[in-house]
């Protein structure tokens, strides 16, 4: 298949060999599960269970709220220990609404779980509804509710479904293993999604550092649907960036600030396709995901099918613990993942990796001044000038940085990866993006306040005017009355005088 060139990118050390040969294993049931109510982009789900309630595996724990949201289900059977808050799977370590479930060890599915005999007989709405009800979100890490993406056909004219099996982050092998072990299930999910989207072109892009997955998927594709094309991609970070992947495969560029749907293409992750297959064929909601546990400080790296809500510590224990104290504990890949505050936090729908990195792997150095070497300019897949943006942000010129394209930055970290000065460029950009968002909110609040204040003044003015008018009217009426009375009074003596005059 003909591929197209994209600009920039880097070749980070893959380190995938640590876990690439490890089959997906299922760790024993943990003692407690902490299931956050927000494991997706959008509104937090609302709890549907009480403390002390018994639930079966797959029962609804919290229902989605509004158009962009996702429900959360019980990962195993057990008893609800509490509906409260617990440290989030997030760098901040702040507590978020979480349901705590004590497994009963039976791992018994709910009786209500029921699959569909032939998903292809369902219409698009019904498929999307089932995907929504199963709580499926983008499992590549973005965690955008998948049903919303399946409904894009309402707004856009779509022709292609791309499956993003590039897995370009170093260390991560969870999609690789899933494609090796479950190619038929994934492709079934892909075909169901394509049916829902109403598209005819199906492309699965896989980086060529995963030959086993490419082979397995190619065989499976030949057996299921010849329309599915398996495209080996050059291994280059950030190949998994949706817009760059689409351009590599189709040669078409997504307009800035737009969606790939603008050019008729929807992108999903293979793990999401697998989840769709499970939800449609068997009725299973999303209660587990494959996670790569790896890094130089992990005794036994591997790929685990993890129940959502399992604590990080349980995964580390299952993988033989730590061989040394890691300098970084990361959720996701080393390029775009985020540091975790402690090993207490639970795994969530979006966590595709758990990395414990040693000092030799992170290669941290103290930042030096920029020498304008422009390595970052060459590495940027978005055509930005990171050194210039960082320099502007450093002196507080955030607006200038926005003018230089800050909002077109995808935060892939290619620039910081190659910087010889070890300048934390992504940190600068994240700070500026956050600050701009805060300013935007403040500005919105200000205009809203101003609008309300103006409305209030207008209202008060109107009230005052009405009062004044009423007063004036009353005054006029009173004056008129007085005048009439005075006239009457004046008329009386005159009449009397007249009378006197005639009498005399």
- Restricting to residues 211-270, name those near another protein by CB under 8 A: 243-244, 252-258, 261-264
Contact residue for another protein among 37, 217, 322, 347 (CB under 8 A): 322
One of 47, 135, 138, 334 touching another protein (CB under 8 A): 334
Select the span of 8-16, 38-46, 172-180, 448-456 touching another protein (CB under 8 A). Answer: 8-16
Shortest CB 189 distance to another protein, Å: 24
Stretch that binds another protein, among 9-17, 79-87, 142-150, 181-189 (CB under 8 A): 9-17
Q: Rounded to the nearest whole angstrom, what is the least distance from the CB of residue 95 to another protein in the complex?
A: 15
| Beta-carbon contacts of residue 245 (< 8 Å; ≥ 6 apart) | 162, 164, 166, 205, 233, 239, 267
Cα 409 from Cα 278, distance rounded (Å): 35
The correct pick among 1, 13, 299, 459 for binding another protein (CB under 8 A) is 13
Rounded least distance, CB 35 to another protein, Å: 22
Residues 107-146 that bind another protein (CB under 8 A): none
Decide whether 274 or 428 has the Cβ nearer to another protein: 428
Smaller CB separation from another protein, 188 or 314: 314
18 binds another protein (CB under 8 A): no
| Cβ–Cβ under 8 Å, residues 63 and 36 | no
User: Which residue among 141, 240, 285, 326 contacts another protein (CB under 8 A)?
Assistant: 326
Region binding another protein by CB under 8 A among candidate stretches 221-229, 301-309, 338-346, 486-494 = 338-346
Among 54, 364, 459, 495, binds another protein (CB under 8 A): 364
Span near another protein by CB under 8 A; candidates 181-189, 353-361, 435-443, 467-475: 353-361
Give the residue from 40, 35, 36, 37 showing the smallest Cα distance to 69. 40
The phi, psi pair for 477, rounded to 5°, reads -60, -45
Binding residues among 369-388 for another protein as defined by CB under 8 A: 369-375, 377-378, 380-385, 387-388
Q: CB under 8 Å to 333, separation ≥6 — which residues?
A: 169, 170, 171, 172, 352, 353, 355
Question: Could you give phi then psi for residue 279, rounded to 5 degrees?
Answer: -70, -40
CB of 201 to another protein, least distance (A): 12
Q: Is 490 exposed, middle or buried (0-12, 13-18, 19+ CB in 10 A)?
A: exposed
Could you say which residues in the range 386-415 bind another protein, by CB under 8 A? 387-388, 405, 408, 411, 413
Interatomic CA distance for residues 365 and 483, integer angstroms? 96
Q: Residue 441 gets which letter from DSSP?
A: H
336: contact with another protein by CB under 8 A: yes
Give, as ranges, the residues between 149 and 208 that touch another protein (CB under 8 A).
154-159, 170
Nearer to another protein, 213 or 355 (CB): 355
User: How many C-beta neighbours within 10 Å does residue 466 have?
Assistant: 10
Instruction: Report, in Å, the least distance between residue 41 CB and another protein.
Output: 19
430: helix, strand or coil: helix
| Pick 93 or 115: Cβ nearer another protein | 93
Q: Which stretch binds another protein (CB under 8 A): 41-49, 186-194, 362-370, 450-458?
A: 362-370
The DSSP bridge pattern shows strands 265-268 and 60-63 to be unpaired
Q: How far is residue 252's CA from residue 231's CA, in Å, rounded to a whole number?
A: 16
CB of 204 or CB of 416, closer to another protein: 416
Count CA atoms within 13 Å of residue 349 on its CB side.
29
| Packing angle, helices 174-181 and 211-224, rounded to 10 | 40
Specify the residue, 285 or 334, whose C-beta has the smaller distance to another protein. Answer: 334
Query: Min. distance of Cβ 335 from another protein in angstroms?
Result: 4
Q: Say how many residues touch another protein, by CB under 8 A.
A: 85
Q: Is 345 helix (H, G, I), strand (E, B) or coil?
A: coil
Binding flag, residue 17, another protein (CB under 8 A): no
Distance CA 414, CA 393 (A): 18
Decide: 409 and 382 in contact? Cβ < 8 Å: yes
Q: Integer distance in angstroms from the first to the last C-alpha of the chain?
A: 132
- Piece of the chain touching another protein by CB under 8 A; list 130-138, 218-226, 286-294, 325-333: 325-333
Which phi and psi angles does 59 have, rounded to 5°? Answer: -65, 150
| Sheet bearing 60-63, strands edge to edge | 46-47, 60-63, 72-73
3 state SS of 253 = coil
Residue of the chain from 325, 395, 502, 504 that contacts another protein (CB under 8 A): 325
Q: Which positions from 61 through 100 interact with another protein, judged by CB under 8 A?
A: 91-93
Residue 313: Cβ-neighbour burial (10 angstroms; 0-12, 13-18, 19+): middle
Pick out residues in 431-490 that bind another protein (CB under 8 A): none
2 vs 157, beta carbon nearer another protein: 157
Site for another protein in 422-441 (CB under 8 A): 422, 424, 426-427, 430
If the CB atoms of residues 196 and 230 are measured against another protein, the closer one turns out to be 196
DSSP letters spanning 23-88: PEE-PPPPS-EEEES--SSSBPPEE---TT-EE-BT-EEEE--SSSB--EE-SSSEEEEEEEEEE-
Stretch in the footprint of another protein (CB under 8 A) among 57-65, 136-144, 197-205, 340-348: 340-348
User: What one-character-per-residue DSSP string does 407-424 give?
Assistant: GG-----HHHHH-TT---
**Contact of 324 with 358, CB cutoff 8 Å:** yes
């Amino acid at each position: 298949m003909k591929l197209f060139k994209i600009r920039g990118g880097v070749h980070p050390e893959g380190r995938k060999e640590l876990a690439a040969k490890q089959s997906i294993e299922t760790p024993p049931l943990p003692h407690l599960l902490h299931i956050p109510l927000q494991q997706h982009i959008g509104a937090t789900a609302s709890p549907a269970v009480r403390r002390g309630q018994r639930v079966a595996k797959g029962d609804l724990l919290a229902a989605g709220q509004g158009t962009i949201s996702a429900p959360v289900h019980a990962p195993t059977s057990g008893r609800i220990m509490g509906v409260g808050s617990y440290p989030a799977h997030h760098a901040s370590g702040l507590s978020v609404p979480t349901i705590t479930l004590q497994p009963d060890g039976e791992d018994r599915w709910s009786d209500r779980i029921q699959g569909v005999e032939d998903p292809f007989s369902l219409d698009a709405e019904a498929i999307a509804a089932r995907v929504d009800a199963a709580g499926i979100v983008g499992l590549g890490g973005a965690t955008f509710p998948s049903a919303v993406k399946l409904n894009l056909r309402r707004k856009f004219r779509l022709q292609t479904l791309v499956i993003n099996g590039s897995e370009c982050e170093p260390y991560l092998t969870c999609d690789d293993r899933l494609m090796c072990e479950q190619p038929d299930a994934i492709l079934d999910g892909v075909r169901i999604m394509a049916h829902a989207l109403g598209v005819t072109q199906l492309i699965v892009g896989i980086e060529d550092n995963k030959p086993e997955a490419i082979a397995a998927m190619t065989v499976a594709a030949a057996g299921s649907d010849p329309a599915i094309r398996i495209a080996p991609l050059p291994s280059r970070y950030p190949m998994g960036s949706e817009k760059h992947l689409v351009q590599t495969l189709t040669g078409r560029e997504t307009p800035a600030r737009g969606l790939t749907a603008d050019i008729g293409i929807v992108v999903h992750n293979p793990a999401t396709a697998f989840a769709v297959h499970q939800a449609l064929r068997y009725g299973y909601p999303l209660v587990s995901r494959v996670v790569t546990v790896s890094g130089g400080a992990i005794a036994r790296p591997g790929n685990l099918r993890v129940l959502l809500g399992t604590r990080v510590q349980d995964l580390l224990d299952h993988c033989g613990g730590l061989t040394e104290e890691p300098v970084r504990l990361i959720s996701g890949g080393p390029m775009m993942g985020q540091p975790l505050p402690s090993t207490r936090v639970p795994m969530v729908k979006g966590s595709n990796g758990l990395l414990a990195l040693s000092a030799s792997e992170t290669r941290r150095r103290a930042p030096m001044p920029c020498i304008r070497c422009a390595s970052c300019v060459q590495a940027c897949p978005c055509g930005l000038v990171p050194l210039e943006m960082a320099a502007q942000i450093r002196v507080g010129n955030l607006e200038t940085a926005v003018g230089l394209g800050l909002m077109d930055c995808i935060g892939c970290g290619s620039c910081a990866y190659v910087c010889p000065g070890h300048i934390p460029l992504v940190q600068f950009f994240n700070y500026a993006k956050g600050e701009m968002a805060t300013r935007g909110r403040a500005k919105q609040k200000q205009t809203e306040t101003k609008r309300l204040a103006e409305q209030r003044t207008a209202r008060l003015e109107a009230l005052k005017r009405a009062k004044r008018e009423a007063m004036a009217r009353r005054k006029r009426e009173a004056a008129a009355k007085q005048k009439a009375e005075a006239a009457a009074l004046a008329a009386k003596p005159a009449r009397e005088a007249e009378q006197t005059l005639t009498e005399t």
